[in-house]
A and B are shown apart, each in its own frame.
Chain A
Amino acid sequence: MRGVISNIQRFSIHDGPGIRLTVFFQGCPLDCWWCHNPENIPYGSIEDCDLKTVYTPEQLMTEIRKELVFIDESGGGVTFSGGEPFMQGKFLAQVLSLCKAEEIHTTVDTSGYVNEDLLNSMIQNIDLFLYDIKIVDADLHKKYTGIKNEVIINNLQRIVEGSKKVIIRFPLIPEITDTEQNIRDVIALMKSLQLKDINILPYHRIAEKKYDKYGCFNRMKGIKQHTQEEVEKYELCFKNAGLNAKIGG
């Protein structure tokens, strides 16, 4: 069994507790307008990939083990991100169980768009979810990400019921997710699930060059970034609602 990994980032300090190693999985079923990593969306077959990006679970564990001293010292671990890590579900499940066998803290950074059974098969090996909630309204979600969000919200409920630790990640996208209605919906959703933690991820235009480089169509052209003050106002909205909000991961 092999997985396609677009990148491995060490000394990753914004994707969960402590010092982490973040593994970026190639391939994502969503097509968000604001995607920062458009090059990670397509999932090529293993045969097409450069050898350097294809790992067996054991090879990936070798890379993870190299970081153990930092992980242990800082209370860190491994974060699986992407792309959408669940898209390579069997590979992810295998790596998660190997991590758990070695008592390594695991985090999955996910869109939540995953088959329920697949999620259930490995949920016991995931210590923390960084769970994206982008838009609560189903139609708007479909418009801006290419898919409906029913599965995403159902899965979130299931994870919460399973008493798993969850941090909501909310991409703050001008004119798309930053509407009053959506903010209110996100707060309501979190309250109904008794979720406390939310990371606000402000949109930034650093990915624009990537769109040109990879020849992708950039639907965000002309959209301005929020200023720091604006972002802080949104943060305050969430805080005022009693949530533990934080800018950035």
Chain B
Amino acid sequence: MNERIEYLRDKSTFSEPYITHQRAELLTDFYMQSSETELSVPVSRAMAFKHVMENKKICVMRGELIVGERGKFPKSTPTYPEICLHELEDLQGLNDREKQYFIVDEETKKVYKEKIIPYWRGRTIRDRIMNELSEEWKNAYAAGVFTEFQEQRAPGHTVLGKKMFSNGFNDLKNEIDEAIQNLDYQYDPKALDKKEELKAMKIACDAIIAFAKRHITKIESRINEESDAAKIAEWEQMIENLKVIPAEAPQTFWQALQHYWFIHQGVITELNPWDSFNPGRLDQHLYPFYKRELEAGSLTKERAKELLMAFWIKFNNHPAPPKMGVTLKESSTYTDFSLINVGGVLEDGSDAVNELSYLILDVIEEMRLLQPSSMVQLSKKNPDRFIKRALKIIKTGFGQPSIFNTDAIIQELLRQGKDIIDARNGGASGCVEAGAFGMESYILTGYFNLPKVLEVTLNNGFDPRTEKMIGIQTGDLNSFKTFEEFMNAYEKQLKHFIDIKVNGNNIIERVYAKYMPAPFMSLVIDDCIKNGTDYNAGGARYNTSYIQGVGLGSITDEFTAIRYHVFDQRTFLFEELKNAIDRNFEGFENMRDVLINKTPKYGNDDDYADDQMRKVFEMYFNAVDGRPNTKGGYHRINLLPTTSHMYFGSVLGAMPDGRKAGIPLSEGISPVQGADRNGPTSVLKSAAKIDHIRTGGTLLNQKFTPDFMSTEEGIDKVARLIRSYFRLDGHHIQFNVLTADMLRKAQENPEEHKDLIVRVAGYSDYFVDLTEELQNEIIRRTEHEKV
């Protein structure tokens, strides 16, 4: 990397996360000054957005090739009081906490105290949601049966498609005018509402164009301070770029990157949507520009690489907006999940890997940044050198890129009823979520604690921790004559909680649809303009709601222990087992030893254990899949944890697999930590018994020591291992390549290992930023020794 990139990278890496009240204050000013009653909700949201974009500070730094910051400078992070309001003690907490902290200065506290808190208290989306949700929802939430994504952050969970690489916002304005023309006041009772939506979208176009133009003025002031002719020429070229995009479609590689970056800025400033935003299939979108310019001689490979590096740094400048409480626990990271896709297939189904795919892999390897996240899509049609190139980056121990099965993703999307072309243009985003890029809203609504439901079943509907009756009465343990009867009781309990969660989701969706439209997001996702409907109200072509199952390995081992020892081998009576877990196995060490060491476990390609996984999967799938949401779409399942398996473990007592109270659950679809004893092929075989195609994503973590991939032959064999898993329709696999000793050293001397990035679950994070428990759990994950 050259001096410029190194400078910008250092600036990004060493900046401290900071809270800026700028956005919150501008938004509050707007609402205090305008009379909301005169404007429709979408139009006032759009005008508020425009007010922010026209007045927030413009940041242009020395040496920058891509401009645009959400805050005042790198890692300066705004708040979103219309979604959830930080009280003064919350701000202090953000400042004081050890991990994922944000510096909060006195001025911010003052503005919050005097203006922001008084205006927004009681008026936030979070307040509205909490007023509407039922007691039983709140009890289940407090017990840790599920989490709720939309209580602090807006729905988002989507990715840009190819449309915006051939359109500018003036084109969208024309599209909007046409849509307004086509409104049918005779037969469409919503026509007038749609007009308001479309008006709002048009205002959002003006907002982003204005924001971009303001950078020209700033750059001009930079030119005045500059004496170096080459630098002046570069600034001037940037001004020329900004005279084209984002109003018009990008013409060059550089403009395409800058164009996307303004869109990214629009999305993450309008609201704080989950998973930030994401250019998706970057190698595909940029390839036409790259090829054309390389042929014309107006771009070199080196320059393209430098521009991509500058682009990468911009993502790293933007930590996830501050999270609190359970939301922080389920996602304790600064990463905001912009998962850039490389590889996969073209619209016609053929191999999409191109020169730019490899160039982007070079950039990933050299930048070694926390953000953006990166992944390769691997289809059976992609060449082996592509996956091997990716493995050579993975083996350096940086946790990226992760590897996804394109062919499985396409099947998953098709099963959900999507068009084949839309499916091929899709990929995975966030952690592992399959989506039709540019046209789907695929909202994660919350994690679901599968083992917690077992604990409630074991206690006949009662939660021992919160000491409340949160479930239904499914029977006393003595009443179960067979294992099947007991599993049926679990299924009833599961359905009960899924009903509560789905009802809650439908309420929350309507709250967002009604009070928190996202006109800017609606511009860039098809078919919101055509439908005259907001992204948050079902305007996208596809609308999916996910509930993410957590602890599949744990629940499998828990059921297997019950089946094996209580019903099959009759090692203990059910009540003896229950008594031991109620006492956290204190005084029952021998029983615990039997449960841990002499019981079949998931992850060993042993059908006796894996059968319970299949049953729980079917129950979970049947309880969730196909249930309508309020946006014309359906609920689906996926299996990923982010960091919720830590939180879910902390709210759970001891369990029948020998796990003690408070210990983390298994993560993703991985086996319980240490339960897999037969090496990676058995883990993959067990994991492949999940019907991945009926999910919208699963997450499998494998850890390797670096020497495993130290030779070409080793890399080839790991590539074959991945291909085998994908032949079995596995959705995703990611590798942590390091030794437990390396991690222990890092834990002891965090100062010396600040740069150590590990794969946590669907994303990478700095090891030293993780909580101690999470660090320990990463150390515990089975390490596959060199054979």
Interfacial residues, chain A to chain B (CB-CB below 8 A): 9-14, 18-19, 66-67, 69-70, 72-74, 76
Contact = CB atoms under 8 A, between A and B. Distances in A.
Given A10-B682, A12-B787, A69 B728 contact: yes
Q: Chain A interface mostly helix, strand, loop or mixed?
A: mixed
28 contacts: A9-B679, A9-B787, A10-B678, A10-B681, A10-B682, A11-B680, A11-B721, A11-B784, A12-B787, A13-B714, A13-B787, A18-B720, A19-B681, A19-B717, A19-B724, A66-B605, A66-B682, A69-B727, A70-B681, A70-B724, A72-B724, A73-B720, A73-B723, A74-B717, A74-B720, A74-B721, A74-B724, A76-B720
B787 A66 contact: no
Nearest to B726: A73
B717 A10 contact: no
Contacts of B784: 11
A10 B784 CA distance: 11
A73 B724 contact: yes
Nearest to A73: B724
B467 interface: no
Contacts of B724: 19, 69-70, 72-74
Given A11-B679, A13-B713, A19 B721 contact: yes
A66 B680 CA distance: 13
A11 B713 contact: no
Nearest to B713: A13
A9 B685 CA distance: 15
Contacts of B680: 10-11
Interface of B: 605, 678-682, 685, 713-714, 717, 720-721, 723-724, 727-728, 784, 787
Nearest to B723: A73
Contacts of B717: 13, 18-19, 74
A11 B685 CA distance: 12
A11 B679 CA distance: 7
A76 B714 CA distance: 13
Nearest to A8: B678
A11 B720 contact: no
Given A9-B787, A18-B717, A73 B681 contact: no
A48 to B, nearest CB: 21
A11 B727 contact: no
A210 to B, nearest CB: 15
Nearest to B717: A13
Contacts of B679: 9-11
Contacts of B678: 10
A117 B678 CA distance: 36
Given A19-B681, A67-B681, A69-B727, A14 B720 contact: no
A168 B433 CA distance: 49
B719 to A, nearest CB: 9
B720 A19 contact: yes
A66 B685 contact: yes
Contacts of B682: 10, 66
In order of increasing CB-CB distance, the 4 nearest A-B pairs are A74-B720, A73-B724, A10-B681, A10-B679
Given A9-B787, A19-B724, 13 more contacts: A9-B679, A10-B678, A10-B680, A10-B681, A11-B679, A12-B787, A13-B717, A13-B787, A18-B717, A18-B720, A19-B717, A67-B681, A69-B727
B787 to A, nearest CB: 5
A18 B721 CA distance: 10
A11 B714 contact: no
Contact of B787 (A14, A70, A73): A14
A67 B725 CA distance: 11
Contacts of B681: 10-11, 19, 66-67, 70
A18 B723 CA distance: 13
A148 B678 CA distance: 37
Contacts of B723: 73
A67 B723 CA distance: 14
Contacts of B713: 13
A76 B719 CA distance: 13
B157 to A, nearest CB: 33
A58 B371 CA distance: 51
A67 B784 CA distance: 17
Contacts of B721: 11, 19, 70, 74
Nearest to A70: B724
Contacts of B714: 13
Nearest to A248: B711
Contacts of A66: 605, 681-682, 685
A66 B679 CA distance: 13
A60 to B, nearest CB: 15
A13 B704 CA distance: 14
B726 to A, nearest CB: 9
A32 B360 CA distance: 53
A81 to B, nearest CB: 12
A10 B680 CA distance: 8
A73 B727 CA distance: 9
A247 to B, nearest CB: 10
A18 B728 CA distance: 18
A14 B724 CA distance: 18
A72 B724 CA distance: 8
A19 B721 CA distance: 8
A76 B721 CA distance: 11
A244 B787 CA distance: 22
A73 B387 CA distance: 15
Nearest to B708: A13
Given A10-B678, A13-B714, A19-B681, A70 B720 contact: yes
A106 B342 CA distance: 38
Contacts of A19: 681, 717, 720-721, 724
